[in-house]
DNA sequence: CGCGCGCTGATTCTTGATTG
DNA sequence: CAATCAAGAATCAGCGCGCG
């Protein structure tokens, strides 16, 4: 084990672990960055084993802080701790959704080439394969191919003051399965598009807004308005966002000091009665149809939803015209959320920065299925 | 009442495509 | 060819709840 104040990970030797005291540690806490192969479950075990090596210097495996779910090696009689983090010097890790794509494709190949029975010996996702083939029966799967290599841009578009989510900046359309597809499955009758979603935060659309809400509008004097930005105004109108409150969320944001305890952002919650037709027309283009939504959840289960034109009609129908708008106050967070309830989904629209900055770069539509 | 765990709000990472 | 944008989703940390 090497201890270093600042260490260049690109020059790190393999199989060596490094202690990095972060700025926030104030000399009492060490963070141990483990290789990516250590999962959340393996970290406590690693620390437990490590504590044995420190037994002679009173190192004890325990939960380091009250209200913390993260275990650590604590040194009794001192305020020194060793905490474990996941990836060397980084925050979020690699994209495991791509792996899901490959594994599912391999399952299809197994089925096409060898027609194996649906069990865990033959498939990574036997339940999915069985359910899918039953769903499309009597159609037969002939081939499957990966088509999701490219990130199809889906920027916001407008006709009049009607917002829509486009495909590559094109005209309004809702039959967008081909554009959303990650894997195409060809049967004896047609091509079925599979849109694969992975994890707990799932999103229908995620469009850039850097040009819709220009940075200088925030950085200029406080009375700069978005009146001359038609699409910004259309977004405000569709979701009932107050431009002044919106702007203030981002300009007032206060960067937390290193080591400062984060608290849940207090919010000013407002309600707005949406124009049903406008909102539903927007949602229809965000969700779209002509594909199958395949979601691998955090418990390893895949759920399939056939996104037909008929289903989309239900999915886009507002349960209530009431939209909830959340404005974080006092510089507590840099995002504005708009919650829309439809008959099939809770849609969590949000405008925020996704690129380690302050001002909005994206509008997203996260969803939870009902 | 302390601890462990699950849930979820919040942030920003990585990769690939596009633009200047 | 470098910078930026878009897409997709990973990780961190706080909070609440249940258990002993």
Give pLDDT tens digits for A143-184.
988 776 566 778 888 888 898 888 877 888 898 888 888 888
Q: Please say if the pLDDT value at position A274 is more than 90.
A: yes
Q: Measured between alpha carbons, how far is A70 from A268 in angstroms, rounded to an integer?
A: 31
Q: Tell me, what's the pLDDT at A202?
A: 77
* Domain count across chain A: 2
Q: Is A42 helix (H, G, I), strand (E, B) or coil?
A: helix
Mean pLDDT of A120-130: 87
C-beta neighbour count of A78 within 10 angstroms: 11
Question: Is the same domain home to A188 and A317?
Answer: yes
For residue A110, tell me if it sits in a domain.
Answer: yes
> Is nucleic acid strand C under 7 Å from A126's C-beta?
no
Protein CA at A253 to nucleotide C1' at B18, angstroms: 31
Q: Which of A255, A261, A258 lies closest to A26, judged by CA?
A: A258
Say whether pLDDT at A299 is over 90. Answer: no
Distance of A322 CA from C1 C1′ (whole Å): 49
pLDDT for res A188 = 95
Q: Are residues A140 and A64 in the same domain?
A: no
User: A337 CA to C3 C1', in Å?
Assistant: 29
Q: What is the pLDDT of residue A3?
A: 38
- Same domain? A31 vs A107: no
Same domain flag for A289 and A357 = yes
Those nucleotides of strand C lying less than 7 Å from any protein Cβ are 4-16
The arithmetic mean of pLDDT across residues A49-57, rounded, is 67
Give me the CA A198–C1' B6 separation in Å, rounded.
Answer: 19
> Does a structural domain hold residue A258?
no
Residue A313 lies in a domain: yes
Q: Residues whose CB falls within 7 A of nucleic chain B?
A: A 44, 62-63, 66, 69, 71, 90-95, 149-151, 153, 200-201, 264-265, 267, 298, 326, 328, 332-335, 337, 348, 352-356
Q: Identify the domain boundary among A58, A85, A112.
A: A85
The mean pLDDT of A311-334, rounded to a whole number, is: 88
Judgement on whether residues A286 and A176 belong to the same structural domain of the protein: yes
Q: State the Cα torsion A90-A96-A99-A101 to the nearest 10°.
A: -140
Question: Do residues A39 and A70 both lie within one domain?
Answer: yes
Q: Is the N-terminal amide bond of A150 cis, ω within 30° of 0?
A: no
Contacts of A77 (CB under 8 A, 6+ apart): A58
Is residue A174 assigned to a domain? yes
Q: Helix or strand or coil: residue A149?
A: coil
Q: Distance of CA A105 to CAs A100, A123, A124, A137, A242, Å?
A: 8, 11, 10, 19, 46
Q: Which residue has the higher pLDDT, A200 or A147?
A: A147
Whole-model pTM: value is 0.75
CA A229, A233, A234, A239 dihedral sign is: positive
Same domain, A105 and A169: yes
Domain assignment present for A253: no
Give pLDDT, residue A279: 93
| Res. A186: pLDDT tops 60 | yes
> Does a structural domain hold residue A106?
yes
In a domain, A260, yes or no: no
- Round the average pLDDT of chain A to a whole number and report it: 75
The residue segments making up the domain with residue A122 are: 97-211+265-369
């Amino acid at each position: 084990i090497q201890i270093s104040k600042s260490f260049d990970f690109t020059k790190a030797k393999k199989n060596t672990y490094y202690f990095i005291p972060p700025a926030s540690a104030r000399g009492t806490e060490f963070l141990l960055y483990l290789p990516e192969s250590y999962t959340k479950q393996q970290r406590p075990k690693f620390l437990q084993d490590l504590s044995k090596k420190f037994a002679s210097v009173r190192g004890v495996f325990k939960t380091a802080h009250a209200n913390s779910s993260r275990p650590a090696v604590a040194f009794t009689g001192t305020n020194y701790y060793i905490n474990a983090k996941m990836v060397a010097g980084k925050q979020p890790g690699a994209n495991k959704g791509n792996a899901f794509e490959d594994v599912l494709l391999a399952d299809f190949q197994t089925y096409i080439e060898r027609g194996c029975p649906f069990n865990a010996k033959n498939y990574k996702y036997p339940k999915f394969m069985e359910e899918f083939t039953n769903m499309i029966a009597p159609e037969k799967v002939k081939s499957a191919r990966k088509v999701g290599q490219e990130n199809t841009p889906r920027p916001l578009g407008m006709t009049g003051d009607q917002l829509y989510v486009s495909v590559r900046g094109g005209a309004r359309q809702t039959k967008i399965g081909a554009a959303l597809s990650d894997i195409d499955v060809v049967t004896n009758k047609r091509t079925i598009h599979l849109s694969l979603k992975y994890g707990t935060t799932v999103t229908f659309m995620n469009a850039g807004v850097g040009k819709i809400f220009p940075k200088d509008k925030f950085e200029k004097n406080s009375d700069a308005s978005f009146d001359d930005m038609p699409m910004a105004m259309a977004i405000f109108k569709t979701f009932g966002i107050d431009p002044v409150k919106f702007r203030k969320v981002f300009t007032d944001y206060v960067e937390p000091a290193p080591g400062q305890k984060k608290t849940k952002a207090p919010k000013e919650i407002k309600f707005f009665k949406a124009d049903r037709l406008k909102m539903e027309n927007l949602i229809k283009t965000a969700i779209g149809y002509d594909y199958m939504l395949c979601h691998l959840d955090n418990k390893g289960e895949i759920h399939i939803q056939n996104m037909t034109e008929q289903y989309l009609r239900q999915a886009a129908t507002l349960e209530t015209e009431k939209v909830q708008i959340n404005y974080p106050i006092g510089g507590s967070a840099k995002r504005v959320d708009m919650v829309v309830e439809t008959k099939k989904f809770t849609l969590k629209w949000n405008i925020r920065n996704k690129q380690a900055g302050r001002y909005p770069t994206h509008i997203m539509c996260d969803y939870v299925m009902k």
